[in-house]
């Protein structure tokens, strides 16, 4: 209220006037009757002004508690608004934190699943590697056997070729018919071989 009254009093002031030059004669003129009356009135005005100031002080003293109460209420409203805003911000942060915790939990679950699948895959790979090692060992064994058989076959082929070159030895296999004695079969074979002019051995079975 005091600020409002100060603004009203400042608005009621007269507008400033321009200054004019005054000569020395005008300055030294004796005061007129009107000026004497004005001086006397001016001497009386301070007393009235002091009384008005006292009344203003009393009114200000009466209005100060109201102004203080309004200011306190305004400050309380501002504080309450700030506290509400802080609570809203805190609630938003708590919500975000909960969402982040859920996300972290889901990521941990996925990592656990990935670890389990990785361990399972590694076990499967190890088993496959063991099987591959066994198969490779078997392949090596089979290859060695095949190489041995190949060497034996080559030896047999060489022997067969050498025998074919010589043509001095023939193997004849006879099947014994029922009713023929083995001695007679050997004798018959010897006669047939010698009659052809070749030397041969007989194998009966």
For residue range 16-27, list pLDDT tens digits in order: 445 455 555 555
Instruction: Give Rg (Cα) of the chain.
Output: 69
How far apart are alpha carbons 140 and 120 in whole angstroms?
A: 30
How far apart are alpha carbons 192 and 199 in whole angstroms?
A: 10
| Model confidence at 10: pLDDT above 50 | no
Task: Give percent helix, percent strand, percent coil of the chain, each to the nearest 5.
Answer: 80, 5, 15
How far apart are alpha carbons 69 and 72 in whole angstroms?
A: 5
Q: What is the pTM of this model?
A: 0.34
CB 190 within 8 A of CB 202: yes
Where is pLDDT greater, at 174 or 140?
A: 140
For the chain, what percent of residues have pLDDT higher than 70? 50
pLDDT, tens digit, for every residue of 153-204?
888 888 888 877 776 555 555 555 555 555 554 454 444 544 444 444 444 4
Structure-block tokens of residue 128: 């496959």
| Model confidence at 32: pLDDT above 70 | no
Where is pLDDT greater, at 118 or 26?
A: 118
Q: Rounded to the nearest 5°, which phi and psi values hold at 203?
A: -125, 120
Q: What is the pLDDT of residue 75?
A: 92
Q: Rounded to the nearest 5°, which phi and psi values hold at 173?
A: -115, 125
pLDDT, tens digit, for every residue of 42-76?
655 554 445 555 556 566 555 677 788 888 889 99
């Amino acid at each position: 209220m005091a600020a409002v009254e100060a603004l009203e009093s400042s608005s009621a002031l007269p507008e400033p006037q321009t200054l004019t030059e005054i000569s020395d004669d005008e300055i030294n003129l004796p005061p007129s009757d009107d000026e004497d009356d004005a001086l006397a009135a001016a001497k009386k005005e301070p007393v009235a002004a002091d009384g008005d100031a006292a009344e203003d002080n009393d009114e200000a003293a009466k209005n100060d508690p109201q102004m203080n109460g309004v200011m306190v209420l305004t400050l309380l409203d501002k504080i309450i608004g700030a506290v509400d805003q802080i609570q809203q911000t805190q609630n938003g942060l708590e919500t975000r934190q909960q969402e982040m915790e859920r996300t972290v939990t889901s990521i941990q679950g996925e990592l656990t699943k990935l670890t389990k699948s990785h361990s399972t895959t590694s076990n499967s790979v190890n088993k496959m590697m063991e099987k591959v090692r066994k198969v490779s060992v078997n392949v090596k064994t089979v290859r060695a056997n095949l190489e041995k058989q190949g060497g034996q076959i080559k030896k047999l082929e060489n022997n067969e070729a050498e025998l074919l070159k010589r043509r001095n030895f023939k193997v004849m296999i006879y099947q014994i018919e029922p009713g023929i004695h083995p001695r007679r079969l050997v004798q018959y074979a010897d006669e047939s071989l010698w009659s052809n002019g070749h030397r041969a051995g007989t194998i009966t079975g």
